[in-house]
Amino acid sequence: MTNVSVIGLGKIGLPLAVQFASKGHQVTGVDINQNTVDTINEGKEPFPGEAYLQEKLQHVINDGKLSATTSYQKAIPNSEVVVIVVPLFVDTEGVPDFAWMDTATQELARHLTKQTLVSYETTLPVGTTRTRWKPMIEQTSGLVEGEDFHLVFSPERVLTGRVFEDLRRYPKLIGALSQVGAKQAQQFYETALDFDDRIDLERANGVWDLGSAEAAEMAKLAETTYRDVNIGLANEFARFAGEHGIDIYSVIEASNSQPYSHIHRPGIAVGGHCIPVYPRLYLWNDPEAEIVRTARATNMTMPKTAVNILDAAHGSIRNQHVVVLGASYRGGVKETAFSGVFPTVEELRTRGALVSVHDPLYSDQELVAMGFAPYQLGENIDAAVIQADHAEYRSLTPKDLPGIKTLLDGRNITDSKTWSGVTHLVIGRPASDSR
């Protein structure tokens, strides 16, 4: 058993803390939000939607393996391992804002004791672990990295909603500043995680030491930036295909039948905490990466592109009632980080449309708080845009949206045959108009 502290009990940090506790470690979670701490100590999940979290949380709380606190002083001195999962923000210019992480790092450093392993799991620009956290911790604590404590970067590689599944499926990457730190990190994560067999990998699934913190930092940026670039390419293909009466989805299916092609799917927006953000962190390190910059710019224009398609097919949306279906950035997840709903609504309003928003995961009050007029299925409208691929939207019919003349399916989840009498639009696919 190892005494572990997890700093930051959000949608990634709390499942991590529960996972570590479920493997027999004694875990203390630290969070600045007293309500979050109280809720966790009552054995209740503070946010919905994470598979298996409630039952696993209740179990480790009942067993006394997990507790939460707002006090670094109570948690850190007793810890042999400290894992940090505090948010890093990026502004519109791509400049990282380290404020929250700086505060957490300084607080843990004030209470750090010798021979502690400190692991950062928040995605970082390359070089941050060595050039920012190491000197900050040393200066505040008076301890020396590599002798008195050990520092490692080990990026989280999970998606909210399926954290426990992803922890098993993907190798755990580590990159330390010393060989001793790498050994300690490998030993800890091997005891704290389980790994599925992966015959598709060239080496066994498990803890993978990349040899340096910089390599581990870049690996996380590379895998997420690749997705953004690939989606940007798919969106470029979709734009061209749509202009020339070609079905991009049949093209992608054909292309991906060859093992060296892995084209992603186009869509109305790229949202969430990861894909819109981490390419900007990479660009902060590598401003000459024009491919990355172009893909990010392409993906940011997709809401406007989608509204252009809708406007042209509908015959002007000015003074038309248009409902945006989905406030979440992706289906089944109650999260609006960088969601396409915001630029889509803004663009519709710019065109003079009367806009409302629907989402099965959000109440009317929550939608109003975001600045949206809420919509109820069954109310008369003129047009609709599917922004999030919620399962509930797959079975929609014109009866659910009375009066609808034009549907833009920004996620390609509906069947045009269901939409008889409606102009059915999908980005990158010829319009289906059965009116």
Query: In the predicted model, what is the mean pLDDT of the chain?
Result: 96
Whether 337 has a pLDDT exceeding 70, the answer reads: yes
CB 187 within 8 A of CB 116: no
The third-level CATH classification (topology) of the domain covering 3-211 is: Rossmann fold (3.40.50)
Structure token digits, residue 113: 């004791």
Torsion of CA 27, 33, 39, 45, to 10 degrees: -80
Whether 300 has a pLDDT exceeding 80, the answer reads: yes
Half-sphere exposure of 50 (CA within 13 A, CB side): 24
Determine the pLDDT at residue 433. 52
Interval 215-234: pLDDT, tens: 999 999 999 999 999 999 99
Question: Residue 148 in 3-state DSSP?
Answer: coil
- C-beta neighbour count of 407 within 10 angstroms: 26
Determine the pLDDT at residue 49. 85
Superfamily of domain 302-433: NAD(P)-binding Rossmann-like Domain (3.40.50.720)
Outline which parts of the chain fall under CATH 1.10.1040.10: 221-298
Packed helices 134-141 and 99-110: angle between N→C axes, nearest 10 degrees: 40
244 vs 223: CA distance, rounded Å:
32
Please classify residue 196 by burial: count the beta carbons closer than 10 Å to its beta carbon, then call 0-12 exposed, 13-18 middle and 19+ buried.
exposed
> Among candidates 147, 153, 136, 142, which has minimal Cα distance to 218?
153
The beta-carbon contacts of 193-199 under 8 Å, at least 24 apart in sequence, are 193/19, 193/23, 193/167, 193/168, 194/23, 194/167, 194/168, 195/168, 195/171, 196/168, 196/169, 198/169
> Among candidates 216, 203, 55, which has minimal Cα distance to 126?
216
Outline which parts of the chain fall under CATH 3.40.50.720: 3-211, 302-433
What is the pTM (predicted TM-score) of this model?
Answer: 0.92
Mean local confidence (pLDDT), 263-278: 93
Mean local confidence (pLDDT), 309-324: 96
Mean local confidence (pLDDT), 42-68: 96
| 3-class SS letters over 312-381 | HHHCCCCCCEEEEECCCCCCCCCCCCCCCHHHHHHHHHHCCCEEEEECCCCCHHHHHHCCCCECCCCCCC
Report the DSSP beta bridge partners of residue 374: 357
Which residues have a catalytic role annotated? 220, 274
Interval 56-78: pLDDT, tens: 999 999 999 999 999 999 999 99
Determine the pLDDT at residue 218. 98
Interval 5-40: pLDDT, tens: 999 999 999 999 999 999 999 999 999 999 999 999
The one-letter code for the residue type at 283 is: L
Give me the sign of the Cα torsion angle 357, 362, 368, 371.
negative
Question: Residue 174 in 3-state DSSP?
Answer: strand
Q: What angle do CA 378, 382, 385 make, to 5 degrees?
A: 85
> Among candidates 133, 155, 111, 215, which has minimal Cα distance to 16?
155
Going from the C-alpha of 333 to that of each of 162, 266, 271, 361, the distances in angstroms are: 10, 20, 12, 8
What CATH number labels 221-298?
Answer: 1.10.1040.10
